[in-house]
Amino acid sequence: MPLTSTVATASETSIAELQRIASQVRRDIVRQVHGCQSGHPGGSLGCADFFTALYFNVLRHDPKNWDMDGRGQDLFFLSNGHISPVWYSVLARSGYFPVKELATFRKLNSRLQGHPTTHDGLPGVRMASGSLGQGLSVAIGAALAKKLNADDKLVFSLHGDGEMQEGQIWEAAMYAAANKVDNLISTVDYNGRQIDGDVDDVLPLWDLKAKWLAFGWDVLETNGNDMAALLGALAEAKHRTGRGKPVMILMRTEMGQGVDFMMNSHAWHGIAPNDEQLAKALSQLEETLGDY
């Protein structure tokens, strides 16, 4: 059953607009990583559509009035913190901080640390992440606080598929279902790749959907590089909150999506393009909102 059949989805024009934003986000990603000659372009590019959909369509948030507690707003936690370039791009482009600050990524005295942190007061970031496996627990805690505060907004989190190898993920999975944390929508970036190679070769996840179902979650699947499908899945996930189960979206993506020579391999997980590669990458990504 197509996910989009049960709920109203975004119009064709809004899908086109989100795709235009995602193109700029991808330019921001490769330019940030090139600028400091370090960082993680592969997973960032793969998740560009998800972040664009989330920050420009799904989240009920107020970037200009950001505070740590985020009462009355949807919250997002990035557990796989190494894909910070894509997050920084959508945070800046949606108004959390000046776009030109993206030029400071991974440089000395920057608020845009290699892995996201609250340490330097960057608006939009509520938790440090980078050491994997911790973000789901944090998202659960924030969701519990929302319930205690009678705050009806939602908590979102994103995780890598390689991150599913961390034991804490499954402690958190068990807790959230057992305690009916049903104001939580988590997503796994299911790109099948991690630093050392394919997930299936490093440590296979086997039937990931069956695992989450067995842990008591409501599970959706979608294509994370198809904006219409993604919007449909996120809308459906929101529709399924408040029903006694946490919601998981298994989101198939392609690492490096949008830059042909970065796709179909784990090679671009954590390396930066040189000048020539940057030019080639940018030639494949339309500048829609103006480079920083």
Partner 1 sequence: MSAYPILDQKDTRSGFGAGLLELGRNNPNVVGLCADLTGSLKMDAFQKEFPERFFQVGIAEANMMGIAAGLTIGGKIPFTGTFANFSTGRVYDQIRQSIAYAGKNVKICASHAGLTLGEDGATHQILEDIGLMRMLPGMTVIVPCDYNQTRQATIAIAAHEGPVYLRFGRPKWPVFIPNEMKFQIGKAQRLIEGSDVSIFACGHLVWRALIAAKELQKEGVNAEVINVHTIKPLDADAVLASVSKTECVVSCEEHNRYGGLGDTIAQLLATRLPTPQEYVAVNDSFGESGTPDQLLKKYGLDVPDIVAAAHRAIQRK
- Which residue ranges make up the site for partner 1 (CB under 8 A)? 68-71, 75, 77, 117-119, 126-131, 133-146, 148-149, 151, 167-168, 171-172, 174-175, 179
Q: Are 114 and 38 in contact (CB under 8 A)?
A: yes
- Report the run of H or E that residue 20 belongs to, with start and end: helix 12-36
C-alpha angle 227/269/111, rounded to 5°? 85
Q: Are 258 and 226 in contact (CB under 8 A)?
A: no
CA distance 74 to 124: 11
**What is the nearest approach in angstroms of partner 1 to the Cβ of residue 231?**
27
**Which regions of the chain does DSSP assign to beta strands (E)?**
75-78, 155-160, 184-190, 193-194, 197-198, 218-223, 247-252
**What is the nearest approach in angstroms of partner 1 to the Cβ of residue 172?**
5
The span from the first CA to the last CA of the chain, in angstroms, equals 42
**What is the nearest approach in angstroms of partner 1 to the Cβ of residue 139?**
6
CA distance 96 to 125: 10
**What is the nearest approach in angstroms of partner 1 to the Cβ of residue 239?**
24
**What is the nearest approach in angstroms of partner 1 to the Cβ of residue 154?**
13
Half-sphere exposure of 198 (CA within 13 A, CB side): 7
Nearer Cβ to partner 1, position 112 or 272? Answer: 112
Nearer Cβ to partner 1, position 2 or 167? Answer: 167
CA distance 252 to 192: 8
User: What six digits make up the tokens of 252?
Assistant: 């198939």
C-alpha angle 77/26/136, rounded to 5°? 15
**What is the nearest approach in angstroms of partner 1 to the Cβ of residue 71?**
7
**What is the nearest approach in angstroms of partner 1 to the Cβ of residue 6?**
30
Q: Are 159 and 189 in contact (CB under 8 A)?
A: yes
